[in-house]
Structure 1
Amino acid sequence: MICLLLSCGYIETYGQIRENVYPLDRSSPDSVYVRLNRQLAQATQRGDLSGQADKQQQLGLLLYHQGNYASGIRHLLQAQNILRRTDQADRLAENLNQLGTVYYYNRQPRLARRQFDEAEDIYQRTQNWLGLAQTYGNIGHLYEKEGDLPTALHYQHRALAQHRGTRQPASLAVIYENLGSIYEDQARYDSARFYYQSALRLLPSADRSGQIGLINNLGDIYRKTGQYTPALQQYRQSVRQARQLNDKYQLNGAYRDMGKTFQLLAQHDSAYHYFEASHDLTDTLYAIETNRQIALMQTLHDVERKDNQIAQLHDRERLNVLITGGTIAGLLLTGGLALVIISRQRLKIRTEAARSQQATQIYQTQRDLMEAELTNKQLSEENLRYQLQLKGQQLTSHTLHLIQKNQVLDDLRADLNTLLSDDKRDQRRQLKQVVQKIGQSFSHDKNWDDFRATFDQVHPRFMADLLRQHPDLTSAELRLAALLRMNMTSADTATLLGISADSLRVSRYRLRKKLELGEGESLSAFVQRFGS
């Protein structure tokens, strides 16, 4: 259920698909969720449909920004139903743009486009040019992410034409940045730089995070055109402003881009430093987002449990009323019959009434127990799915870190080997010792222990099953088998093991012999059978 924006490889930047976001405190989504639910209940009690739509919309956006797309879609659809009944055209179009955005990030582009098209029709009818411009921008961004850059450019220019008459510099800055992004994808860097600079001039001073993103984009343009010194100046400016704002997301991006630039300059020490700083920030942001979403999950669970308890209480109250009414009616009937029936018949009636009441109580008790058992089972399954997903994310993070670190070390080793070709004997001896140390670090990295621990949690039976059938496998062969189980590419596998592509082929051949595979039988497919 949890898919962190950071851990899923996505950090939202100024210029991507946007919606009119309400001023929500995203640092504590659990408390915001409780407050919005309380306000929704109050609006429902008052019969305030507009207020209900507003709170449903805010709940949907809150859950969307926490990666809970299914719940976010559900709340936005409930808001949409209210807005259709109350005939609020512009608010309905705004909701459609928001819903289309969530559908897009939920990998449902067709549903997203359907929402944007309806929003466009409504804004055309109400002559809301600003809303129409935002809708064109959303459609253009959708085509950009689908790889259709000419169509994306067409819609962004339509958005620009609508924006110029609205006198909304912040919204116009969004379109300028979208245009810059498309031109950058097309490698038309002069045009991209022009629109990024135009967006930066229009952006309000209050949107400091958006300014940092644009400055970083300008650095990317300089880097891609080989102007590394101006690129580093832009990135350093992003770092300074991100530190002042304590914006770890923008700081992480600036560190990563600085590492790329230093790598292009062959300044590998600096490249390694900034890649490590970016990795540390990624871990920090991952932990922060995980804690926030765990707190939100607990709040969702508590609210759902309380709602169930309230519903059960209401059911019991209705049942008690029915039982009381039935009992009174039975007593009145018994009293009337007592005038004409002998005492033995009256006693029989009372006994049957008592048995009926007891059976009803037993039935209700059994029903409550079954409902409680079903709820516990659902919560247990949800928790297991969440734990598995979390471990999978941790395994991916460890693996990517090892790839990045080994790639940097491999570049350093290649450079040092080049220097070894020199005839300076003292220098050659010292550099040879450095190369040996780097080579040793490939096999003695403590991160392999972390990788093994996380891998065993995601695939708990894999190693045991493999060793049970092939107990003579070495630790290096087990490591290669684990990477094959994860469907790693040959290039990434060689980088992680610190060996060349030819050495990897030899290792695979030896592993095939140990596993006694016949000709034509796939090694990767064979390994996938274990631990399933």
Structure 2
Amino acid sequence: MVLRFLFLFLVLLYSAKVNSQLLTDELARLNNLGAVFDDLNNDLKQAKKTKSISQTTMAHYNLAIFCSNHRVYTEALHQYNNTINLLEEKKNDTLYAKVLNQVGSIHLELRNYNYAKDYFIRSEKAAELIRDSVLLALATSNLGSCFEKQKKYKEALEYQNKSLQIFYKLNNDSGLAIVNESIGSIYEDLENYKLAELYFKKALKYNKNEKNSRLASIYNNLGDTYRKTNRLNIGLDYTNKALSTAVEIKNTLEVASAYKDISKSYNLIGDYKNAYTFLQSFLKVDTENKRLQSANQSNALQHIYNSKEKESQIQYLLQLNKANKSQKLVLVVLVFMVVVFGVVWYLYTLKKRRHISKELDFKQRILKIELDKKQAEEKNLQKQLHIKTASLSRYSLHLSQKNKMLSNLSLTLKNSLQRNNVDLKRKLTELIKEIDFNLAQEKEWDEFMAFFKEIHPNFINKISNAVTSKLSPAELRLCILLKLNLSSKEIASILRLTPDSVRVARYRLRKKLPIDSKEELSLYLMSF
């Protein structure tokens, strides 16, 4: 018991001394931070001047690593994206797959799991393309870590085991340590502490010869597993090993984690004094870690801001100088252009006036020719219309006279039938039938209608749309004859009606038309 307390006292004393030294080293590193950033930024400027794509790519990459190490993730992602853009045409470059993996790790740290998975998948594909098994295994393991953070443990184990098989084939101890610890962490989340302990011990076996943060983490995880399975003394031993390793490698984050877990162990043992002592140590180191981390980020951000501000000022001055030179050049060019433009404009105007005068004269000639042509066409059309109208009138008059003559002839022959001559009677009967048959023929009327439609093509449609009720064929014929300004007597002859019948037909037609009682029917129809 005394030995245990003595050991604890020595650990605390040594830890306090080392913590003090770690903080001093961290402050010195912070003071040197600006110089490192300036060097990296100058490398980028020089690479851009030489227009070397490979050097520019590496300069962006080194700046990205610097920002990522100091947890300035926004700028780190910006620099990584610049690196990726420059490597787009060199996807067979190892650096391309590596950068995708590192970007995915930043998103994993920021808990942007969907973005992280997207970059890890792209890194996997890039690694497969260049056949880099180590990068493929790391990207696959990181995909498993994404699923673990999302509590999708089945998928997480699937990817971690896939990564584990690749590292086994490569006989890569470092990779095997990483993946075994990740699998142990999954089983610890699932509270399967037996398998968790098994994989943590495997991770320890592959990492035991390396004094690094991974070793401290594995010791700490084993300590957690033993503590959670109530094997407190063994767990405390492993956590103390984690503390010693963390102190030795000067990792204050792992030191804080070890202090916290030791405090938990003593609390479960019932040694509240030591639990309180280590808790106080944890709080002190954790507070200082957060302060230093905040100072680290602030310092890095300040240098990035200062650098960008200087670059902006330099660019502004360069642009201003260029603008002044450009303004002078523009002024000289403008004066020269004004003079040239004035001369050209004068010559152009003079030439244009001559051209316009010639063009106007030519257009007037063309216009006169076209006007003469249209007048000739109009006279021709007027002449044709007059001829057709006269023909139509003569045709209607011919119909009237023919029908009248045939009617009279038919009547005379009918009167001759009263005589007793049998042979004459028979022949006259046949002749009367033939005359009556000809009077009933519609062929001449069809020819008349065709002739009428040629001269007045829209009359029938217009009159049909104007009437209040549908016109009969006889009424439509009456409209057509009235349109030609024929008298009732002429209409009666053509339609083989009596004048009284024509008068009645006119009266019935008027009732179907929207016509004033005082308006002449013929004039109304002639207006269509």
**TM-score normalised to structure 1 length:** 0.55
Map of 1:39 onto structure 2: 43
Map of 1:491 onto structure 2: none
Give the Å deviation of 1:244: 2.8
Instruction: Note the 1:282-321 alignment, pairs <5 A.
Output: 282-321=286-325
Instruction: Note the 1:138-177 alignment, pairs <5 A.
Output: 138-177=142-181
CA distance in 2, matches of 1:131, 1:326: 56
Instruction: Note the 1:125-140 alignment, pairs <5 A.
Output: 125-140=129-144
CA distance in 2, matches of 1:148, 1:130: 24
Q: Contact between 2:187 and 2:195, CA under 8 Å: does it hold in 1?
A: yes
* CA deviation profile, 1:321-359 (whole Å, cap 9, x unmatched): 1233245557889999xxxxxxxxxxxxxxxxxxxxxxx
Map of 1:274 onto structure 2: 278
Q: Contact between 1:29 and 1:62, CA under 8 Å: does it hold in 2?
A: no
Map of 1:65 onto structure 2: 69
Give the Å deviation of 1:91: 2.2
Q: Contact between 1:76 and 1:99, CA under 8 Å: does it hold in 2?
A: yes
Map of 1:480 onto structure 2: none
Map of 1:49 onto structure 2: 53
CA distance in 2, matches of 1:130, 1:307: 39
| Of 241, 244, 254, the match for 2:258 | 254
Output the amino acid matched with 1:150: K
Map of 2:188 onto structure 1: 184
Give the Å deviation of 1:216: 1.3
* CA deviation profile, 1:388-431 (whole Å, cap 9, x unmatched): xxxxxxxxxxxxxxxxxxxxxxxxxxxxxxxxxxxxxxxxxxxx
SS at match of 1:165: helix
Q: Structure 2 vs 1, CA of residues 198 and 216 (structure 1 numbering), >3 Å: closer, same or farther?
A: same
Output the amino acid matched with 1:132: L
Output the amino acid matched with 1:130: V
CA distance in 2, matches of 1:67, 1:308: 24
Deviates more, 1:318-327 or 1:263-272: 318-327
Map of 1:226 onto structure 2: 230
Give the Å deviation of 1:63: 2.0
CA distance in 1, matches of 2:254, 2:291: 17
Q: Structure 2 vs 1, CA of residues 299 and 114 (structure 1 numbering), >3 Å: closer, same or farther?
A: same
Output the amino acid matched with 2:315: A
Q: Contact between 2:100 and 2:122, CA under 8 Å: does it hold in 1?
A: yes
Give the Å deviation of 1:199: 1.6
Q: Is 1:95 equivalent to 2:123 in the alignment?
A: no
CA distance in 2, matches of 1:157, 1:333: 75
Instruction: Note the 1:49-448 alignment, pairs <5 A.
Output: 49-203=53-207, 205-326=209-330, 328=332
CA distance in 1, matches of 2:113, 2:30: 26
Q: Structure 2 vs 1, CA of residues 27 and 94 (structure 1 numbering), >3 Å: closer, same or farther?
A: farther
Higher relative contact order (CA 8 A, sep 6+): 1
**RMSD of the TM alignment (CA)?**
2.5
Q: Structure 2 vs 1, CA of residues 92 and 285 (structure 1 numbering), >3 Å: closer, same or farther?
A: same
CA distance in 2, matches of 1:65, 1:183: 29
Output the amino acid matched with 1:90: T
CA distance in 2, matches of 1:257, 1:141: 23
**TM-score normalised to structure 2 length:** 0.55
Q: Contact between 1:218 and 1:231, CA under 8 Å: does it hold in 2?
A: yes
Decide which structure has the larger Cα Rg and report it.
Answer: 2
CA distance in 2, matches of 1:264, 1:58: 46
* CA deviation profile, 1:267-302 (whole Å, cap 9, x unmatched): 211111111110011121122222222221221121
CA distance in 2, matches of 1:65, 1:330: 55
Give the Å deviation of 1:60: 2.2
CA distance in 1, matches of 2:213, 2:109: 22
Give the Å deviation of 1:67: 2.9
SS at match of 2:171: coil
Q: Structure 2 vs 1, CA of residues 246 and 133 (structure 1 numbering), >3 Å: closer, same or farther?
A: closer
Aligned residues: 313
What stretches of structure 1 of length at least 5 have no aligned partner?
1-24, 337-532
Give the Å deviation of 1:220: 0.8
SS at match of 2:230: coil
* CA deviation profile, 1:293-312 (whole Å, cap 9, x unmatched): 22212211210111111111
What stretches of structure 2 of length at least 5 have no aligned partner?
1-28, 341-528
CA distance in 2, matches of 1:269, 1:238: 21
Give the Å deviation of 1:168: 2.0
